[in-house]
Amino acid sequence: MPIARRAALAAPALLLARRALAQGGAFPSRPVRLVVPYTPGGVSDITARLMAEPLAALWGQPVPVENRPGADGVIGTEAVARSAPDGHTLGLVSVGHPVNAAYYKLPYDTLRDFGFVTQTTATPLVLCAGRGFAPSTVAELIAHAKKNPGVTFAGTGGVVRLAPVLFGQQTGTELSYVPYRGSTQAHPDLMAGRVDIMFDTVPAALPHISSGAFKALATTGAMRAPQLPEVPTVGETLAGFEASTWGMVIAPAGLPPPVLAKLNADCVAALRRPEVVEKHRTLGAEVVTSTPEAIRAFTEAEMRKWGEAARKAGIEPQ
């Protein structure tokens, strides 16, 4: 749908929301729906459920979590974009939100059609390989890949696919993409050496690292992962490299500023509760909160970063 037409359709809902606020309507005045555009059980879903209880207590209204998976998060995210901009429909999305712009011709504009409330989490990836793969450090991997073009990497889409693409571009190495539908499908081949490396999420890879089935060459955050403190970051060898998954709360574009300010303050308070922080750490994620302006700017930067990596790799939006 063209952006101008979406704006025209959204105008009546925005006008109603502003009239309600001007007439003294308190927010929230009814249940606040929290849409998670992914299947249950992932970090985004767990974050939403951990936030829902303290938010319901703050607001005196139920906060039901609604999983609406499909099309790598596009279906549920579109539902948020088309909702009334009154704060009663929120979404909890991942780094897939900006990354999807590199893969798909989306039915919404990633920036203009949304209000940005706060970042929620940051979760580094881990560069791992099977025990039989010769390199054990980033430097050794780079040297090996330069001598042996076509080192294979398992990818499942999104940043898990684009992180090794960016790594190859920054190191001048030729890596070969082997697609998988999910991490669990890739893990047996990584263990058996049928695929050489994988940039996977720390929670998904950690059990196999702990058992000795995988070896961890590096993590991809700005700092070492608390769960793998002895494992260096890629950036310690390749300056400036960073590739993390992360989450954020979004809303439809056009929220009245007082509602956006309240959403930010209350979501940040819910995320900073000690039990919420600790639960995320057990999952390999760190709670990270922000202002609406900061998370919008970060999303825009991530779009540029991953969009450029995809274009250089010849990936065109479908």
Q: Residue 286, SS3?
A: strand
Q: CA torsion, points 291, 40, 216, 161, in degrees to nearest 10?
A: -80
8 Å CB contact between 131 and 214: yes
Residue 131 shares a structural domain with residue 228: yes
Residue 143 burial (CB count, 10 A): 14
CB 128 within 8 A of CB 190: yes
Give residue-wise pLDDT tens across range 9-23. Answer: 444 444 444 444 443
**3-state class (DSSP) for residue 216:** strand
Same domain, residue pair 151 and 211:
yes
Residue 317 domain flag: no
Which among 236, 269, 294 is the end of a domain?
236
Instruction: Write down which residue in 183, 202, 236 finishes a domain.
Output: 236
In a domain? residue 241:
no
DSSP-assigned states of every residue in 224-244: --TTSTTSPBGGGTSTT---E
* Whether 222 and 148 share a structural domain: yes
Name the domain count of the chain.
2
Residues 297 and 185 in one domain: no
Range of the domain at 205: 124-236
pLDDT in tens, 151-194: 999 988 889 999 999 999 999 999 999 999 888 899 999 999 99
Concatenating the DSSP letter of every residue in 141-196 gives HHHHHHHSTTEEEEE-SHHHHHHHHHHHHHHT--EEEEE-SSHHHHHHHHHHTSS-
Q: Assign residue 278 the CATH number of its domain.
A: 3.40.190.150
Q: What is the pTM of this model?
A: 0.85
pLDDT digits (tens, 9 = 90+) for 199-239: 998 888 999 999 999 999 999 999 999 889 999 999 999 99
